[in-house]
Amino acid sequence: MFKLAWRNIWRNKGRSAISIAAVMFCVIFAVVLRSFQVGVWENMTHEIVANNFGYLQLHQRGFWADQTLDNSLDLSTLENASFTNHPEVTGLIPRIESFSLVSTGEGTKGTLVMGIDPEQELPGLQLENYMLEGENFGPNDHSIVVAEGLAKFFNLSVGDTLLFIGQGYHAATAYGRFPVSGIARMRNPELNKQLVLMPFAAAQQMYNLDQRATTVVLELAEDADYKEVSEELIASMDTSALELLTWEELFPEIIQTIEADMAGGQIFVTILYVIISFVLLGTVIMMVAERQREFGILVSIGMRKSKLAIVTVLENIMLTMGGALLGMALVKPVQFYFKYHPIDLSGQLQEAVEQFNFEPKLYTTTSFIINVNHGSIIFLIGIIVSLYAVWKIMTLDPIKSMRS
């Protein structure tokens, strides 16, 4: 029966080519649509999480629930080796994150202050790509980089000075006076309104945090599974004194946004599947209509309807599988191309995206799982619609079919 089905495919090359092309383009459309949606979120997550907050953060237990400097982490008691000995952990990056009132002239505003080690942090933050004025600071400098929104609020320019006053460790007064060395556009919209970056040593001095930090970011190796790393480290660390949180636990609102967008994308993909189903059904109806006389003759000379139905289903399986595999293969270069050559948005759509400080570009993902999933779904749809041919054969009237 396989041999007969194979011969039937090549007997009418035009009809077979149409069937394969229909499945192939269905796979390509479904994979491209999903690849862009997943790719955009992968890129946004990488920008927001990997280049800003880190996939894993270490705190003194209770800090994330009550983010006060009194819950800061004593770096002198932190056993760095217990973390860096893990093969996927390449380093520990301490930070100080706190709030302060800043003023210049008559203006005053509450801001988020982040003390960072520029030698470790700035390459990941990629501030040089988003610097609007001035330059980054060095580890021993006594200057700051302010976010674009904060600079607009105070009408700042490079060389201006900001005064800080707040509460430091154990209720000590935290104050300082820092010149502005640069103005940068932060990729997170909230941070772009209120963030001030300063050298880690200067932040320690201002907040009276000698040998302390509020956050330690675990720098992971390329393509490391942060969830697996988190589970392994938590199993070996003192959880009564420290807490290790993944970015999903730190920022659940990002997960909720992604899930809502993915759900909307599923609706569009479902609509696409409905259209695809009718396209594939049309090819099957065309095939059955063209072969009515052939089916009638075969049944009349003694071929069982069940055997004829099995041969027809095998034909559809071969055609659908061929189209699905061909579509999965042809769409792969498209995924790689738009992964490294994203589509630049323009006009009002570009302005809308830039308001949220996201890069106005559409990326694709290169994950082969998407190809397999959608290729398999469309293959199953092809098999289901081929049951129409089975139904027509089993209800076939040979005399009427030969006269058609």
pLDDT in tens, 111-154: 999 998 877 775 566 667 778 888 888 888 899 999 998 999 99
pLDDT at 358: 61
pLDDT at 366: 84
Q: What is the mean pLDDT of residues 218-225?
A: 82
| pLDDT confidence band for 347 (50 / 70 / 90) | low
pLDDT in tens, 161-172: 999 999 999 888
CA angle 206, 208, 214 (to 5 degrees): 95
pLDDT at 2: 67
Residue 185 has phi, psi (to 5 degrees) of -95, 115
How many CB atoms neighbour CB 324 within 10 A? 26
Q: Which of residues 210 and 16 earns the better pLDDT score? A: 210
Angle between helices 252-290 and 387-394 (to 10 degrees): 30
State the Cα–Cα distance between residues 314 and 393, nearest whole angstrom: 14
Question: Which residue type does 35 have?
Answer: S
SS3 per-residue string spanning 310-374: HHHHHHHHHHHHHHHHHHHHHHHHHHHHHHHCCEECCHHHHHHHHHCCCCCEECCCCCHHHHHHH
Q: What is the mean pLDDT of residues 210-227?
A: 86
pLDDT in tens, 329-346: 899 998 898 888 888 776
Q: What is the mean pLDDT of residues 389-403?
A: 76
Q: Which of residues 357 and 312 earns the better pLDDT score? A: 312
Residue 346 has phi, psi (to 5 degrees) of -145, 170
Can you say whether residue 126 is alpha, beta or left, with left for phi > 0 and alpha for psi between -120 and 50 degrees?
left
Q: What is the mean pLDDT of residues 24-53?
A: 80
pLDDT at 389: 82
* Listed residue (388, 329, 277, 321) closest to 16, CA to CA: 321
pLDDT at 354: 58
How many CB atoms neighbour CB 404 within 10 A? 11
Is residue 303 helix, strand or coil?
Answer: coil
Q: What is the 8-class DSSP label of residue 360? A: S
pLDDT at 247: 83
- DSSP E strands: which ranges in 21-172? 56-60, 73-74, 89-104, 107-116, 131-134, 144-147, 161-167
| pLDDT confidence band for 50 (50 / 70 / 90) | low
Q: What is the mean pLDDT of residues 35-47?
A: 79
State the Cα–Cα distance between residues 197 and 148, nearest whole angstrom: 12
State the Cα–Cα distance between residues 332 and 31, nearest whole angstrom: 9
pLDDT in tens, 235-249: 888 778 889 888 888
Which strand (E) or helix (H) includes residue 246?
Answer: strand 242-246
pLDDT at 356 over 60: no
Q: Which of residues 360 and 272 earns the better pLDDT score? A: 272
- CB environment 143-165: b (16+ within 10 A), e (fewer): bbbbbbbbbebbebebebebebe
Q: Which of residues 341 and 358 earns the better pLDDT score? A: 341
State the Cα–Cα distance between residues 25 and 108, nearest whole angstrom: 59
State the Cα–Cα distance between residues 148 and 195, nearest whole angstrom: 9
Alpha-helical runs (H) found in 126-184:
148-154
Tokens found for residue 394: 């089993």
Q: What average pLDDT does the structure give for the chain? A: 82
40-49, 274-283, 361-370, range with the lowest pLDDT: 40-49
171's CB contacts (< 8 A; 6+ apart) are: none
pLDDT in tens, 4-13: 677 767 777 7
Q: Which of residues 294 and 20 earns the better pLDDT score? A: 20
State percent of the chain over pLDDT 90: 13
Which strand (E) or helix (H) includes residue 289?
Answer: helix 252-290
pLDDT in tens, 253-293: 777 777 777 777 778 888 888 888 888 888 788 877 777 77
pLDDT at 359: 63
pLDDT in tens, 170-215: 888 899 999 999 998 876 667 788 899 999 999 999 999 988 999 9
Angle between helices 368-385 and 305-340 (to 10 degrees): 150
For the chain, give the number of residues. 404
CA angle 150, 151, 155 (to 5 degrees): 125
